[in-house]
């Protein structure tokens, strides 16, 4: 499923935000709880985030063009970064509304009804967050995953507010309401910071997940019986899209046709191991010294280049190279 089909999940998030805003506003009016007021404000932030997620998923679904040959999938990182920033902003707004109540506490009213309404809103957010998180992990969409985690911060906020109202009723200590609101604000800041970090890594062309890297290494290891080497194996992920490139070195006497057949077979095997990836291969003669001029593209920390190299497999000219072999 491509980003274009993922927009239906963004619409689900928008619907959930509108519903929870209505429920939480009602709960705030009934109780007058500053915690519920801050919770309602966060739901407005959720709505803005869901709208941006819809816009970015729509943009990410656009096909490559002359100006964007690799597509528009990195647009998802702008959405997830915005989600992270909005989560931090929501935490700040919670603190902003809680501090005055901490200084001048006010009594709560209709706590029971307010708690029930808030719990219903939280259940809606929890259900939608689970759907978005599963979809985000299944389709490798950081936008959906960010939206899911944003909704889960809302769930924790609401839970904290309900606990705070209950504590006020039980103890009669009215400052517990803003104190718990401040604790909730501190807790959700962490989620926002982590989303900002992941978005920054995505924009910096981070490698694909380690499990996928291991799958590629396993494919290339199957081509190791007849002296075919590879190096410069690089990967990166942009939203839902994964890009893989590798240089394959074959005997210089091979024909172009034979080399091409090897690359086609190799690319098909990698695509089978890493579904939906975009694979770029480059053929080089193993006995030509110029084929090793780009050896600096190998990284010693890469799982492909530094692990599981059998003795004698590396070339004297390029110790980081690995063997691969075609079929006879």
CATH number at residue 120: 1.20.1510.10
Mean pLDDT, rounded, for 124-144:
90
Mean pLDDT, rounded, for 298-327:
41
Write down which residue in 176, 203, 230 finishes a domain: 203
Q: Are residues 168 and 43 in the same domain?
A: yes
Write down which residue in 203, 233, 254 finishes a domain: 203
Q: Are residues 267 and 163 in the same domain?
A: no
Q: Are residues 297 and 222 in the same domain?
A: yes
Write down which residue in 175, 203, 231 finishes a domain: 203
Q: Are residues 7 and 137 in the same domain?
A: yes
Q: Are residues 123 and 181 in the same domain?
A: yes
Contact criterion met (CB below 8 Å) for 243 and 70: yes
CATH number at residue 222: 3.30.70.1350
Q: Are residues 229 and 140 in the same domain?
A: no
Question: Which of 60-64, 204-208, 319-323 has the least mean pLDDT?
Answer: 319-323
Q: How many other C-beta atoms lie within 10 A of the C-beta of residue 290?
A: 8
Contact criterion met (CB below 8 Å) for 238 and 272: no
Containing domain of residue 234, as a range? 210-324
Q: Are residues 176 and 59 in the same domain?
A: yes
Q: How many other C-beta atoms lie within 10 A of the C-beta of residue 81?
A: 20
Top-confidence range, 138-147, 225-234, 298-307, 313-322? 138-147
Q: Are residues 299 and 169 in the same domain?
A: no
Q: Are residues 133 and 255 in the same domain?
A: no
Of residues 318 and 295, more confidence is placed in: 295
Q: Are residues 93 and 189 in the same domain?
A: yes
Q: Residue 319 has what pLDDT?
A: 38
Helices 34-60 + 7-31 axis angle, to 10: 170
Contact criterion met (CB below 8 Å) for 31 and 25: no
Q: Are residues 126 and 161 in the same domain?
A: yes
Residue 247 dihedral angles phi and psi, to the nearest 5°: -100, 130
pLDDT, tens digit, for every residue of 240-271? 788 999 999 988 889 999 999 999 999 999 99
Q: Residue 322 has what pLDDT?
A: 55
Q: Are residues 169 and 221 in the same domain?
A: no
Mean pLDDT of the chain, nearest integer: 80
Q: Residue 14 has what pLDDT?
A: 94
| Exposure class string for 293-320: b at 16+ Cβ within 10 A, else e | eebeebeeebebbeeeeeeeebbeebeb
Q: Residue 294 has what pLDDT?
A: 66
Q: How many domains does the chain have?
A: 2
Question: Which of 225-234, 258-267, 276-285 has the least mean pLDDT?
Answer: 225-234
Question: Which of 38-47, 55-64, 213-222 has the least mean pLDDT?
Answer: 38-47
């Amino acid at each position: 499923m491509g980003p274009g089909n993922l927009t239906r999940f963004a619409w689900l998030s928008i619907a959930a935000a509108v519903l929870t805003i209505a429920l939480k506003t009602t709960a705030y009016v009934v109780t007058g709880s500053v915690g519920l007021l801050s919770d309602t404000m966060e739901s407005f932030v959720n709505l803005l985030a869901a709208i941006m997620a819809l816009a970015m998923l729509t943009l990410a679904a656009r096909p490559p063009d002359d100006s964007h040959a690799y597509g528009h999938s990195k647009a998802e990182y702008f959405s997830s970064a915005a989600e992270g920033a909005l989560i931090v902003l929501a935490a700040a707004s919670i603190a902003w509304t809680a501090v005055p109540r901490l200084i001048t506490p006010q009594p709560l009213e209709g706590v029971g009804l307010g708690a029930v309404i808030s719990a219903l809103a939280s259940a809606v957010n929890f259900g939608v967050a689970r759907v978005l998180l599963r979809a985000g992990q299944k389709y490798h969409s950081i936008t959906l995953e960010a939206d899911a985690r944003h909704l889960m911060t809302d769930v924790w906020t609401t839970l904290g507010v309900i606990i705070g109202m209950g504590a006020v009723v039980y103890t009669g200590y009215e400052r517990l309401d803003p104190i718990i609101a401040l604790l909730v604000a501190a807790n959700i800041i962490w989620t926002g910071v982590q989303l900002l970090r992941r978005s920054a890594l995505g924009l910096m062309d981070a490698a694909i997940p380690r499990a996928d890297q291991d799958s590629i290494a396993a494919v290339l290891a199957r081509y190791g019986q007849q002296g075919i080497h590879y190096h410069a194996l690089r990967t990166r992920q942009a939203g839902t899209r994964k890009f893989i490139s590798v240089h394959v070195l074959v005997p210089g006497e091979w024909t172009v046709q034979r080399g091409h057949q090897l690359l086609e077979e190799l690319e098909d095997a990698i695509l089978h191991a890493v579904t939906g990836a975009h694979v770029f291969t480059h053929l080089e003669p193993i006995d030509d010294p110029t084929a090793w001029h780009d050896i600096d593209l190998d990284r010693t920390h890469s799982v492909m280049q530094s692990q599981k190299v059998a003795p004698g497999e590396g070339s004297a000219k390029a110790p980081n190279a690995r063997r691969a072999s075609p079929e006879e």
